[in-house]
C-alpha cells in the first residue's frame, strides 16, 4: 500500500507562514491498495487530491468519512472529479453518526451556503451508511478489506482499518481517550503497520495548563494517548494527525520529539508526505 497525506490539520484550515512545513489543510489521506484508490475523509486537502487525479480520469474511488463535522467534509464541494460524468465514487460513512452521509454532504451544498447542489455533480456516486463493526470488501479486484470501530467524539465518529495483501493501515481521528486505552480501538489497530492517530493536543493543552481551559469532552486526544494505543496494539509506526490550529510548525516538531520518547517510530503527519507500506 501507498499512503499520501493531503490534509493533516484539525478544526479549520490554517494557511500562513507558521504552518508551511506541516501544512494547513484539514483531514484527507490518499491510500493506494494495489489498483484501488481509497480516500480517508474529505477536508480541504481533498481539493488538492482532486486536482492531482485529473490526469488519471476516469477514476473509481472509495471514500470513507470518519464523521461529518465541517473540517472532514468541507473539501468535497471542491473535489473536481465529482463533477465529471465518467467517474465513479463510492462514499461510506457511519450509520447514525448524525444524518446520513448523503444528506449531510447535500446540506453543506444547499442554498444559501453553496451555489451548486450535490445533485448537480456529474460523477456516478453511491452512498453506503455503515454499521459499527461492519466489514466491507472493496476494490476493482475485491481484494481490500475495510473494517471499522466507533470512537469517542460528540455526535459520533468511526475509525477505519484498511487491509490489503498482508499490509494494514488504521485511521483514528477525533477520538478522545480516558483512563484506559479504548478496547475497541486497540482491537482495530492490533498489529497494524501504520496507525494514524488524532494527537491534537499535548497533555498540558488537554488539561488546560496552557492554551486556555481544559479540553475534556471535546473529542480529541494527545500524543501520549496515541503512544499508549500504539504500544498496546503492537503497531509498527505511529503518525500524529489532526494538529491543533494554534500549533505552529515548531510546536508540531516538539510534539513529535516528545512522542518519540514514548514510541520511537513516530512521525508527525505532514502535507505531501508519501509512505510506502
What is the per-residue DSSP string for the chain? -EEEEEE-B-SS---SGGGTTT--PBSEEEEEETTEEEEE--STHHHHHHHHHGGG-S-EEEEE-S--SGGGTTTGGG-GGGG-TT-EEEEEEETTSSS-HHHHHHHHTSTTT-SS-GGG--SEEEEEEEPTT-EEEESTTS-EEEEEEE---TT--EEEEEEETTEEEEEE-S----SS--HHHHHHHTT-SEEEEE--B-HHHHHTSSSSS--TTSS--BHHHHHHHHHHHT-SEEEEESB-TT--HHHHHHHHHHHHHHSSSEEE--TT-EEE-
Give the pLDDT mean for 69-78.
95
pLDDT average, residue stretch 179-205: 97
pLDDT of residue 20: 97
Q: Which domains does the chain have, with CATH numbers?
A: 2-276 (3.60.15.10)
pLDDT of residue 101: 87
What average pLDDT does range 7-22 have in this prediction? 97
**pLDDT(95) > 80:** no
Q: What is the mean predicted confidence (pLDDT) over 188-217?
A: 95
pLDDT over 70 at 96, yes or no: no
Mean pLDDT of the chain: 95
pLDDT tier for residue 98 given thresholds of 50, 70 and 90: low
Q: Determine the average pLDDT of the residues in 96-101.
A: 68
Lowest-confidence pick of 105-114, 122-131, 156-165 = 105-114
Residue 131 backbone phi and psi in degrees, to 5: -85, 155
Confidence of residue 97 (pLDDT cuts 50, 70, 90): low
Structure confidence by residue, pLDDT tens digits, 203-243: 999 999 998 899 999 999 999 999 999 999 999 999 999 99
Does residue 26 register a pLDDT over 80?
yes
190: cell is 492490533
User: How far is the CA of 205 from the CAs of 196, 209, 223, 231, 258, in angstroms?
Assistant: 20, 6, 11, 22, 14
The residue length of the chain stands at 277
With bands split at pLDDT 50, 70 and 90, how would you rate the model's confidence at 122?
Answer: very high
Amino acid at each position: 500500500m501507498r499512503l499520501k497525506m493531503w490534509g493533516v490539520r484539525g478544526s479549520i484550515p490554517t494557511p500562513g507562514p507558521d504552518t508551511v512545513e506541516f501544512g494547513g489543510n484539514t483531514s484527507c489521506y490518499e491510500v493506494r491498495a494495489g489498483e484501488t484508490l481509497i480516500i480517508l475523509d474529505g477536508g480541504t486537502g481533498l481539493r488538492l487530491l482532486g486536482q492531482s487525479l485529473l490526469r488519471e480520469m476516469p477514476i473509481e474511488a472509495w471514500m470513507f468519512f470518519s464523521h461529518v463535522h465541517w473540517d472532514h467534509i468541507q473539501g468535497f464541494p471542491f473535489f473536481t472529479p465529482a463533477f465529471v460524468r465518467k467517474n465513479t465514487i463510492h462514499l461510506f460513512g457511519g450509520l447514525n453518526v448524525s444524518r446520513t452521509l448523503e444528506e449531510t454532504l447535500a446540506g453543506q451544498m444547499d442554498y444559501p451556503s453553496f451555489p451548486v447542489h450535490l445533485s448537480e455533480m456529474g460523477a456516478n456516486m453511491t452512498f453506503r451508511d455503515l454499521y459499527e463493526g461492519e466489514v466491507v470488501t472493496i476494490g476493482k479486484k475485491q481484494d481490500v478489506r475495510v473494517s471499522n470501530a466507533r470512537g469517542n467524539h460528540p455526535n459520533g465518529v468511526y475509525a477505519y482499518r484498511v487491509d490489503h495483501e498482508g499490509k494494514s493501515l488504521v485511521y483514528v481521528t477525533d477520538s478522545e481517550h480516558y483512563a484506559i486505552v479504548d478496547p475497541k480501538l486497540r482491537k482495530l489497530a492490533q498489529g497494524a503497520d501504520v496507525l494514524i492517530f488524532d494527537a491534537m493536543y499535548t497533555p498540558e493543552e488537554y488539561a488546560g495548563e496552557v492554551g486556555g481551559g481544559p479540553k475534556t469532552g471535546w473529542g480529541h486526544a494527545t500524543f501520549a494517548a496515541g503512544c499508549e494505543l500504539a504500544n498496546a496494539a503492537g503497531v509498527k509506526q505511529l503518525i500524529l494527525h489532526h494538529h491543533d490550529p494554534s500549533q505552529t510548525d515548531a510546536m508540531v516538531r516538539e510534539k513529535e520529539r516528545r512522542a518519540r520518547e514514548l514510541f520511537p517510530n513516530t512521525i508527525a503527519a505532514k502535507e505531501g508526505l508519501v509512505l510506502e507500506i
